[in-house]
Amino acid sequence: MFFVPVIEGVEKISSVVWKDNKIITLISSFTGEIPLSHVKCFDKKENKSIDIPCPKLVKEYNRHMGGVDLIDGLIGRYKIRMRTKKWYLRLFYHLVDVTIINCWLLYRKIRKDRKETYLPLAQFRAELAYCLCNQGTVSTSKRS
């Protein structure tokens, strides 16, 4: 494990390499290696648990890892499927997907707090698409 400051300035970016079952490289502008804490890890050679130092960045990643898995799972269900060889269009569509998922998660949280029912993700996306397509048009009838 080592800590390498990559960029100095207003925001510091730190890189931490953590050796677990395989080597994991983490880069963050949020936190770095310090403060170190200790975690228990099973050592196969000694056949017992030992304390090893663990950087703060690794602990923060493990604490918030479920949110990343949730976003990946939700994006995988209803992904914008546009075939293109242009990398920037793929990035754009991915960012649109992430934005829609974040909007739905906020919408769902607000509706749950008010104890109201909420639309499933597929219906939410369809309603969002309908509203965006009809933006600026004058409509006298309500959509049912």
pLDDT digits (tens, 9 = 90+) for 44-95: 777 777 777 777 777 777 777 766 677 777 888 888 877 888 888 888 988 9
What pLDDT sits at residue 123? 92
Rounded to the nearest angstrom, the gap between the alpha carbon of residue 116 and the centroid of all alpha carbons in its chain is 26
Amino acid at 100: I
What pLDDT sits at residue 124? 92
Instruction: Check whether 5 has a pLDDT greater than 60.
Output: no
Q: Is the pTM of this model over 0.75?
A: no
Which residue from 114, 111, 130 is spatially nearest to 122, judged by alpha carbons? 130
Q: Are 29 and 12 in contact (CB under 8 A)?
A: yes
Using 50, 70 and 90 to split pLDDT, how confident is the model at 41? confident
Average pLDDT over all residues of the chain: 77
Question: How far apart, in Å, are the Cα atoms of 57 and each of 26, 72, 95?
Answer: 8, 21, 25
Using 50, 70 and 90 to split pLDDT, how confident is the model at 10? very low
What pLDDT sits at residue 67? 67
- Residue 122 CB contacts under 8 Å (≥ 6 apart), including other chains: 77, 78
Phi, then psi, of 67 in degrees rounded to 5: -65, -40
Listed in order, strand segments (DSSP E) in the chain are 2-7, 13-19, 23-28, 37-43, 48-54
b/e map 96-119, b = 16+ CB within 10 Å:
ebeebbeebeeeeeeeeeeeeeee
Rounded to the nearest angstrom, the gap between the alpha carbon of residue 21 and the centroid of all alpha carbons in its chain is 23
Which residue from 90, 38, 33, 100 is spatially nearest to 60, judged by alpha carbons? 33
Mean pLDDT score, 3-29: 66
